[in-house]
Each structure stands twice: as structure tokens, then as C-alpha cells.
């Protein structure tokens, strides 16, 4: 059984330069897990923030499960991410000193059936960095096309 992706952040590689990635668990309610099994989630605008000695995920949208009981969770509530203490200390140092950001890369079910979040430590790209990436992609496309025709 392989990892089953629930949702991915497609804007991540366009807007940010990924420096490091951590696999972490996420604290969910039962109806949220049911909703994730039907892939009703969005992490495009989500970000991570360290508060105290804990890491939280903000702006992640998990649609409430239709058949849940009367107690339904708010769709964009903050959710605690589960990391080892040493990883949290490393993140605290890097985020505070170098001005880096925590952004989720993807949300998925691992082999054991637990929901995991691939949390990335990223640095924002400037407009000229994005233009360089586009230019580099165009050059490689042209070279591949040229090599294919020869």
C-alpha cells in the first residue's frame, strides 16, 4: 500500500524556494478524517506558525463531513502539527533568525493509514527569480525539441 495523496500545494514551487521538508502528523477530529478520505481539503493558502513550543497549521480548509453528527468542526480552524521536540527547536531557530516560512507541501495518508503533512521550510522568491525559472524552463524545452529533431 502506497501513500495516497489527499491534496498538494501547487503554488509552492512557483512562489518559494524549498530548503527543507519535514513529515509531521496532524491533530484532527473524527469527522475531519472522514472528509479527508474523500479528498475534500485544500492547503493552497495554508501556512505553519510556531506558538510556544508547538507548531500550528493555519488556513488549511477541510470541508465538514456531510454525514457527521450535529457537532461539526469549523472548516479553516487552526490544527496542531505533531513533530519531535528536536525538530521544533530546529524550526524555531531557523524561522526566527533567517526569516523563513513554514508552508505545507502536501497532505497524504501514509502506509499505516495516518494523515501526514509534508511541511516545508521555504524562502520566498522575488519576481526576478521567478522570471529566471521561466527562462530556464523555456531553454530546456527548446534544447530538447532541437535534440529530438536532429
* pLDDT tens string 91-124: 888 888 777 889 999 999 988 889 999 999 998 8
pLDDT of residue 26: 92
In tens, the pLDDT along 61-71 reads 888 887 777 66
Q: Three cell numbers at 88?
A: 521544533
Determine, yes or no, domain membership for 138.
no
The sign one gets for the Cα dihedral 21, 22, 27, 28 is positive
pLDDT of residue 24: 93
Q: Three cell numbers at 82?
A: 505533531
Query: Per-residue pLDDT for 1 more than 70?
Result: no
Cα separation of 58 and 143, whole Å? 42
φ and ψ at residue 6, rounded to 5 degrees: -90, -55
Determine, yes or no, domain membership for 68.
yes
Determine, yes or no, domain membership for 146.
no
Query: Per-residue pLDDT for 89 more than 60?
Result: yes
Cα separation of 51 and 95, whole Å? 12
Query: Per-residue pLDDT for 132 more than 90?
Result: no
Cα separation of 14 and 121, whole Å? 15
pLDDT of residue 2: 65
Determine, yes or no, domain membership for 50.
yes
Query: Per-residue pLDDT for 147 more than 70?
Result: yes
Determine, yes or no, domain membership for 139.
no
- The domain tally of the chain equals 1
Give mean pLDDT, residues 34-38. 86
Find the CATH number of the domain harbouring 87. 2.40.280.10
- pTM over the 0.85 mark: no
Determine, yes or no, domain membership for 147.
no
* Residue 68 exposed, middle or buried by CB count within 10 Å (0-12, 13-18, 19+): middle
C-alpha angle with apex 54: 85 to 7, nearest 5 degrees?
Answer: 100
Range of the domain at 13: 4-124
Determine, yes or no, domain membership for 65.
yes
Under a CB-based contact definition with an 8 Å cutoff, are residues 120 and 16 in contact? yes
Determine, yes or no, domain membership for 130.
no
Amino acid at each position: 500500500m502506497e501513500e495516497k495523496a489527499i491534496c498538494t500545494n501547487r503554488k509552492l514551487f512557483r512562489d518559494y524556494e524549498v530548503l527543507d521538508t519535514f513529515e509531521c502528523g496532524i491533530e484532527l477530529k473524527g469527522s475531519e478524517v472522514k472528509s479527508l478520505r474523500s479528498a475534500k481539503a485544500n492547503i493552497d493558502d495554508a501556512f505553519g506558525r510556531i506558538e510556544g513550543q508547538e507548531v500550528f497549521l493555519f488556513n488549511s480548509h477541510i470541508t465538514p463531513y456531510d454525514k457527521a453528527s450535529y457537532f461539526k468542526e469549523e472548516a479553516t480552524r487552526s490544527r496542531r502539527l505533531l513533530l519531535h521536540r528536536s525538530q521544533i527547536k530546529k524550526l524555531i531557530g531557523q524561522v526566527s533568525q533567517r526569516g523563513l516560512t513554514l508552508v505545507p507541501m502536501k497532505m497524504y495518508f501514509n502506509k499505516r493509514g495516518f494523515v501526514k503533512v509534508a511541511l516545508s521550510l521555504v524562502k520566498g522568491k522575488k519576481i526576478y527569480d521567478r522570471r529566471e525559472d521561466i527562462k530556464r524552463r523555456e531553454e530546456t524545452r527548446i534544447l530538447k525539441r532541437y535534440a529530438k529533431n536532429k
